Amino acid sequence: MAVGSGSSKRPESSMRRLPAPGSAAELASTYRSYGVCIIPVREADGAGGQAKSPYVQGGFKNATTDAEQVGRWWWAWPSAAIGLPCRANGIIVLDADRHGSGDGVAEALAIFERCGVDPNAGPVVVTPRDGRHFIFRRPESLGATNGKVAPAIDVRDNAYVIAAGSVMATGRPYALHVGTVPQLATAIATHSLPALPQALCDLIAKPVSSARVQSARSSVERQPVSGGQNDTDPRPRLAGLIRAVATARPGHRNATLHWAACRAGELVSAGLLPSAIAVAALVEAGLMAGLGERETAATVRSGISTAARGSGHGR
């Protein structure tokens, strides 16, 4: 792939030359060699675009780990900063700024404290204006996300950030708070970063659409169950539980799911609803709400088991 490499062709002898120690090209080669896909981004404002914008057509969607392509890019733009696509690398970043819209770092630390999250659980990058990038592994079950957590905190998901180690034309770096670039690159490439905690997933997940909730409810209502079309028919109640879980507010989603599982468990214990239908419906509702798959399944089974033991709660 030769996207955005311009009309210049790098000589073969130059393509085999090792990048200079400490150069932007060496940094790019380090990320690439560990299996992290990258793009070159502008280190300063220029005729082609603003600082931090991609040099290449297609932007972060054309990121690669290909050695030849990366070599051509940094031959063409030897001072380019490294753009780190988030979703393509399996990461999600909370980008807290300290300019323009308030103190995003202080806001982020307050959010972490409220959610019971260690702000240093994952890698932290100090940005040139004393902001912070809080980097986590993106949970596979996380759906669409909001673009902001607060006015000065952006959620970088289907986007990119400037990689640690990059230096802008001002001389200001993106510096890892703890650790080294090879350690960070290894953790990204091997998907061994700490996952974004569930409390933060709840906070940034987009609300589920009413159309999707209605689709799930309709699917339940078509299921054959033993109650029939009378007062003991469990399907309307299960459909209501689905809606309650799928539309629960951030910070209340897991508790709502457990409550709903207890209520569904009562229907199962009464012989009105097959356990498999209850589990499948509530797991789907939890995923729609933005909860993680493993946590959702465990909570649903716990709630149904609680009801089976006669200790359901939260009516």
Domain range for residue 47?
Answer: 12-203
Burial of 293 (0-12, 13-18, 19+ CB in 10 A): middle
Instruction: Looking at the structure, tell me whether residues 193 and 175 fall in a common domain.
Output: yes
Which residue, of 203, 236, 263, is where some domain finishes? 203
Using a 10 angstrom Cβ sphere, with 0-12 exposed, 13-18 middle and 19 or more buried, the burial of residue 249 is exposed
Decide if 214 is inside a domain. Answer: yes
Q: What is the pLDDT of residues 116-175, one digit of tens each?
A: 999 999 999 999 999 999 999 998 877 788 899 889 999 999 999 999 999 999 999 999
Same domain, yes or no: 213 and 176: no
Percent of the chain with pLDDT over 70: 84
Residue 313 lies in a domain: no
| HSE-up of residue 54 (Cα within 13 Å, Cβ side) | 19
Distances (CA, A) of 124 to 38, 181, 184, 286: 19, 12, 10, 30
Which of 203, 221, 246 is the endpoint of a domain? 203
Answer yes or no: is pLDDT of 311 > 50: no
Residue range 45-103, pLDDT digits in tens: 988 899 999 999 999 999 999 999 999 999 999 999 999 999 999 999 999 999 877 89
Neighbouring-strand partners of residue 93: 135, 156
Residue 132: φ, ψ to 5°: -140, 140
Q: How far apart are CA 210 and CA 23, in angstroms?
A: 51
Asked if 104 and 215 sit in the same domain, the reply is no
Q: Is the pTM of this model over 0.85?
A: no
Q: Which residues pair with 85 in a beta bridge?
A: 160
Task: State pLDDT tens for residues 260-305.
Answer: 999 988 888 888 888 888 888 888 888 887 777 778 888 888 888 8
Beta bridge partners of 46: 49
pLDDT on residue 107? 94
Number of domains in the chain: 2
Tell me: do 245 and 187 sit in the same domain.
no
Same domain, 191 and 211: no
Q: What is the pLDDT of residues 185-234, one digit of tens each?
A: 999 999 999 999 988 988 888 765 555 555 555 555 555 555 444 456 77
